[in-house]
Chains A and B, each alone.
Chain A
Amino acid sequence: MTIIKKLLVAATLCVAALPAQAALKIFACEPEWAALAQELGGDKVSTFSATTPLQDPHHIEARPSLIARLRQADLAICTGAELESGWMPILLRQAGNSKVQPGQNGYLEAASVVERLEIPAVLDRALGDIHAGGNPHIHTDPRRIATVADKLAERLTVVDPVNAAYYVQRQQAFAQRWRAAIADWSQRAAPLKGMRVVSHHRDWIYLYDWLGIVDAGTLEAIPGIPPTVAHLAKLKATLAREPARAVIRTPYEDARPSEWIVREAKLKAIVLPYTVGGTAGATNLYTLFDETLRLLLEVAG
């Protein structure tokens, strides 16, 4: 029993020693949501991204450092649609933070507020690592980011009502600027309409949906399972009949399958930033799409 008493005394001392934190702490599962939260929250929030652009958000360890961060969060924003199902449930259960539990105002899944594509009719693991909630990579479409921004701003006003007016004002400013940016991007991206593109994983379908890019296949035979030689050979044969302009991948995906298909099928490989920080130029949400379009337009010819 003395052990327990000692532990409790130690715990109480730790709590007493902590200073009060002013800024609203936001735990974002991915860099794009950290960037969006910073856009909307300005200097009233401090954001932390659980993953870096070089990490595959499907496969993250539920590391102690992440538990410690989630423990302190006032709001958590994740993609959802089971993208983080391998680690976020563990963090939520271990952090002991009631504010950010699913169902609370402090927990938001971005995918839940937008229209999702590829919601499978059949759930079978033989089809690979599929998501019952549909394809989770929604942030590759800026129109969907706009919807998430509205919802996130609403949550900020509820979680931190003292600064509600500030968040509303920033949300309006962001919405206006973002709308203008989308109009500009859509215009610049006109040559991409109908362009055939191969991707490593099905990370880009929302980008295709937005710009009218044609999906010419994936290097993975089934989602989440590394590309196989047999499938790549089949893809090569398909591309010989129906050529594609480029093969695209995220910064965290293996380069070798892309490089192989580039040699064999005579198309260009592009690493798109995928998220904020994914390439040197993609420093915020605006430059993320500037960079993505610039790289795609280079190969559009």
Chain B
Amino acid sequence: MLQRIFFVGLVATFAQSVPVLAADPARTVTSNNFNPAISLILDGKFASFSKDPATYALPGFALGEETGPGDKGFRLGESELVISANVDDKFYGSLTAAVTPENETEIEEAFFETLSLGYGATIKAGRFFSHVGYLNNVHAHAWDFVDPPLVYRALLGNQFGDDGAQLRWVAPTDLFLEVGCETFRGEAFPAGGVAKNGKGVKAGFVHVGGDVGPSHAWRAGVSLLSAEAVDRATGDATTPDLFTGKSKLRGVDFVWKWAPNGNAKERNAKFQAEYWTRDEDGTFDPASAGTPLAFAGKQSGWYAQAIYQFIPRWRAGLRFDKLRADSVDATLAGTVLDNQGHEPKRVSLMVDHANSEFSRFRLQVNRDDSRPNVTDTQWYLQYVMSLGPHGAHAF
């Protein structure tokens, strides 16, 4: 059905041809002075942990790739090259290529979006971060903390993005109402193994939002994401744990922003919170032993964070994180799915300074109780530099 909708949408795109007034030679289009707009994000950090990051674990959760506190000492983050432009009058295209500190290039996002469907509808296709939740489709360089919330780390593998297509629609009402659905290949965590002929993930979301007076704005959302996993590998690279089954996520998110008279440059505040649950049902094969064990369990978590810009260019933030996983049968005792009677939690504090909207330095400290009976104090000093015409960020 989704395929049919996309097809009809694309036909509608091509069918539209409205005469446009003779081109005005002086009419310039924003950011097309650099066509396409090219921007580069430089990110790096210095990290210090009281516990060895190699021992990091969230008991009760099988973690996806690159989910953890990161490396000690000086370490480059992902250097991102973003190239984007309106392709023509009907399409917008964008590529985000990330060069990892291991000198590998990854296509983080590469998608096109329609501009001319009209009636509030937009189709997006390619590789992109799902629009579920609030933080999921925010790029790491625009996060308010160095690291993602624990619930994103544990349930979404930091951030869920994959190859797929999306249809979204904005209602013609003064209250912002957006409804969208997505389907993805099913390669990325929490899916795996490209199930269902390469349509292993289905997702849907509803967002509502508005203003309360000139100083307050909010957005709330509900999301669903249903992923099929076939031999989803987590843990050790040579003998990974394998999960086959269904992974079903439900989330609610809320964000509220305050700025005196809507003028955020001097002072502003932002509060955001998300709650996610994940039901997994299938088989779990610890360390690829070839003996799949039945597994059905519920995992959930939330975070809440507040950011306050108290004087121009300086912000402070506080974040709470909490996770919870069902206890498992005796057969799975001792595996990563065993919660060991522990509920991981974390408290983070950060202060950052932005010389301009293009450069930012951040100091963050986490009191991390991810592991049972172990408190890890994690310090980060991070820089994020944006070169080029990179100004616009979504709400």
A residues in contact (CB < 8 Å) with B: 1, 3-5, 7-8, 10-11, 14-15, 18, 51-52, 54-56, 58-65, 67-69, 71-72, 80-82, 84-90, 92-99, 101-105, 109, 112-113, 125, 128-129, 132-133, 154-155, 158, 224-226, 252, 254
Contacts and interface: CB of A to CB of B under 8 A. Distances in A.
Given A98-B115, A104-B18, A113-B24, A7 B262 contact: no
A10 B262 contact: no
B257 A59 contact: no
A60 B177 CA distance: 20
A48 B273 CA distance: 31
Given A10-B179, A89-B31, A125-B358, A96 B392 contact: no
Contact of A68 (B202, B210, B257, B392): B210
B174 A65 contact: yes
B177 A68 contact: yes
A96 B169 contact: yes
Interface string B110-126: 00010111111110000
Contact of A52 (B21, B209, B210, B214): B214
5 contacts: A62-B393, A62-B395, A63-B209, A94-B122, A225-B355
A58 B262 CA distance: 12
A112 B26 contact: yes
A80 to B, nearest CB: 7
Task: Identify the 8 closest CB pairs spanning chains A and B, nearest first.
Answer: A64-B209, A64-B176, A98-B118, A68-B176, A54-B261, A98-B116, A96-B120, A86-B391
Contacts of B206: 7
B174 A55 contact: no
Interface in B208-244: 208-211, 214, 217-219, 224, 226
Contacts of A252: 261, 263
Interface string B6-32: 000000000010101100101111110
A56 B267 CA distance: 13
Given A85-B389, A226-B313, A61 B257 contact: yes
Contact of B176 (A61, A65, A128): A65
B86 A102 contact: yes
B374 interface: no
Interface in B311-327: 312-313
A68 B173 contact: yes
B210 A105 contact: no
Contact of B394 (A56, A59, A62, A155): A62
Contact of A90 (B115, B174, B261, B393): B393
Contacts of B261: 52, 54-55, 252
Nearest to B32: A102
A86 B391 CA distance: 5
Contacts of A8: 5, 181
What is the size category of the interface that chain B forms with chain A?
35 or more
A104 B392 CA distance: 21
B266 interface: yes
Contact of B224 (A3, A15, A60, A113): A3
A68 to B, nearest CB: 4
A82 B20 CA distance: 23
Given A64-B176, A65-B209, A133-B33, 10 more contacts: A7-B179, A7-B206, A14-B177, A56-B263, A86-B393, A88-B30, A94-B122, A101-B89, A102-B86, A254-B266
A102 B179 contact: no
Contact of B170 (A3, A68, A80, A102): A68
Nearest to B175: A68
B54 interface: no
A33 B392 CA distance: 22
B394 A96 contact: no
B30 A105 contact: no
B346 interface: no
A7 B5 CA distance: 13
A271 B168 CA distance: 44
A104 B5 CA distance: 25
B350 to A, nearest CB: 20
Contacts of A10: 179
Nearest to B391: A86
Contacts of A55: 214, 261-263
Nearest to A159: B21
Given A64-B207, A112-B24, A94 B170 contact: yes
A287 to B, nearest CB: 21
B197 interface: no
A61 to B, nearest CB: 6
B357 interface: yes
A8 B121 CA distance: 12
B263 A4 contact: no
Nearest to A86: B391
B30 A85 contact: yes
Given A1-B202, A102-B30, A62 B264 contact: no
A220 to B, nearest CB: 12
A225 B21 CA distance: 39
B193 to A, nearest CB: 20
Contacts of A132: 33
A52 B262 contact: yes
A85 B358 CA distance: 14
B265 interface: yes
B259 interface: yes
B174 A68 contact: yes
B50 interface: no
A116 to B, nearest CB: 9
Contact of B29 (A58, A60, A61, A103): A103
